[in-house]
Chain A
């Protein structure tokens, strides 16, 4: 079974972001970039399926700038067999990304598509569900458990208040939640080996997809700063402040 895994290049999750002085966007100049953490979990799940003999080939796909090759090499160092970069310097919206991924899926015909549930830059949480709608593949969003057998994927999903289990007919698109697995680190020999794995580069035009934005970003601002309050010296003082100053307990 072929597995396709989509990865996104984003700002490293440890970096504290800054808003540009002209409020046009977040400043990404000279900032450390990395694979989106949820995408790492998706790659790990694909690799585990291959180790179990369920997946036969793992194709990693990224849509982004030329430098997103780094994230595809990371995916290949972790165990993906080859990579496809759909190269664009535009920051594409989820719908455009979903359309491009759907075209890649049409060409590659995977039985399972694994993605992260959201990217930590735009926090949209949309692309997996859109890919599922556009391809007609079954949808398993926010997945924390996955079993694949007999042409079906049994997914455990994180929902408000607990967990839900669904049976999906393959082919299916699945988005990884935090607790699906704990991703491994790539070993040095595997990082070296990944440099020789095949990586194809395409463009949105190759797929004939209209990627024009639907939304205008009018401005980006820093959130209102919360002022640090005071330190209290004891539990008594804390209870007194909550009762008599903040008046949030009685």
Chain B
């Protein structure tokens, strides 16, 4: 067994989910190599080399891989995959973007967002918004897999692997071109990696009222999330959405404020260690998964909570 993990990175930072993915890959048993593809990403390769248990880091530094354009990265990974029994990537927006292409080019299935490794060919993954857990066994020669980061504890940054440039010829499919990016500026922790998340829903009522959520979040050093209803209503940007089609989070503490608890939202947060729900509707389904429920008007409860933290 030998496993290739594709590192995710953005804005010159290694995405933390890469360390969770390495941890998942180590459960297979066998050497784990990490590929860092991008432009000017030598520093990221050095960072990846510190991930505990990594055998070596492959560095593919070329303009063709800038912003991890799916067409080009998939061609590269396809060439490298001949040396491996498994190819893993985190189920981040980049991993989800290029990995199914890798699978198609290799003529194998992809197994999406695994949450457990049972053996070298058998994995668990949630289906139907997490309302069922499927155990699937792959019959393919190469297993192409994306990993749900919150299901695996990250490896430590205590290693010292070597970094080698890849020998594969650079490929540019030439069909897509990066134009630009608009990234949310925030000093708060990243949503999918935060220890505490405070989320607001439709009940928050407006973009201005979301200040109640931000103030409590800042007291707790927490990330801010939202339900789909709050995002659709335009209260907050869409990258804050927690749920089946948004981000999946599993913090130590998740505080759901003015969120009714549709199954699509629960799919994104029900693995949190402690769940608090604040909602004025005592029949709201969110209370069925909450460890601590407070039936109260959020406009009274949130300022009081902020004052008492």
Which A positions have Cβ atoms within 8 angstroms of B?
11, 13, 16-17, 19, 26, 38, 93-95, 98, 117-118, 120-130, 132-134, 136-142, 144, 154, 157-169, 172, 177-179, 214-223, 226, 228-232, 234-236, 238-239, 241-242, 246, 248-249
Residues of B within 8 A of A154 (CB): 179
* Docked complex Cα distance between A226 and B293 (Å): 14
Among B97, B128, B179, B228, the one with the most A-chain Cβ atoms within 10 Å of its Cβ is B128
A159–B94 touching, CB < 8 Å = yes
Given known A-B contacts A167-B177, A238-B305, A239-B308, A130 and B104 have beta carbons under 8 A apart = yes
Among A19, A172, A230, A232, the one with the most B-chain Cβ atoms within 10 Å of its Cβ is A232
Residue from the list A125, A139, A157 in contact with B112, Cβ < 8 A: A125
* Docked complex Cα distance between A19 and B231 (Å): 31
Q: Chain B 175-197, CB within 8 Å of chain A: the 1/0 string?
A: 11111111110000010100010
> Which chain A residue has the least Cβ–Cβ distance from B69?
A166
> Which chain B residue has the least Cβ–Cβ distance from A13?
B264
Residues of A within 8 A of B293 (CB): 228-232
* Docked complex Cα distance between A168 and B138 (Å): 34
19 A-B pairs, CB-CB below 8 angstroms? A117-B245, A120-B128, A121-B128, A122-B127, A129-B70, A141-B96, A162-B181, A166-B69, A168-B177, A177-B245, A178-B238, A223-B126, A228-B288, A230-B293, A232-B294, A235-B305, A236-B308, A239-B308, A246-B253
A229–B291 touching, CB < 8 Å = yes
* Docked complex Cα distance between A26 and B130 (Å): 12
* Docked complex Cα distance between A167 and B181 (Å): 12
Question: Shortest CB–CB separation between residue A112 and chain B, in angstroms?
Answer: 13
> Which chain A residue has the least Cβ–Cβ distance from B11?
A161
A139–B101 touching, CB < 8 Å = yes
Closest 10 CB pairs of A and B: A229-B291, A129-B100, A138-B175, A162-B183, A126-B100, A214-B109, A130-B104, A133-B104, A133-B101, A165-B179
A139–B70 touching, CB < 8 Å = yes
Given known A-B contacts A123-B244, A158-B238, A162-B183, A142 and B104 have beta carbons under 8 A apart = no
Question: Shortest CB–CB separation between residue B57 and chain A, in angstroms?
Answer: 22
Question: Shortest CB–CB separation between residue A104 and chain B, in angstroms?
Answer: 16
Residues of A within 8 A of B140 (CB): 214
- Asked whether B81 is an interface residue with its Cβ less than 8 Å from the other chain, the reply is no
- Asked whether B21 is an interface residue with its Cβ less than 8 Å from the other chain, the reply is no
Residues of A within 8 A of B290 (CB): 228-229
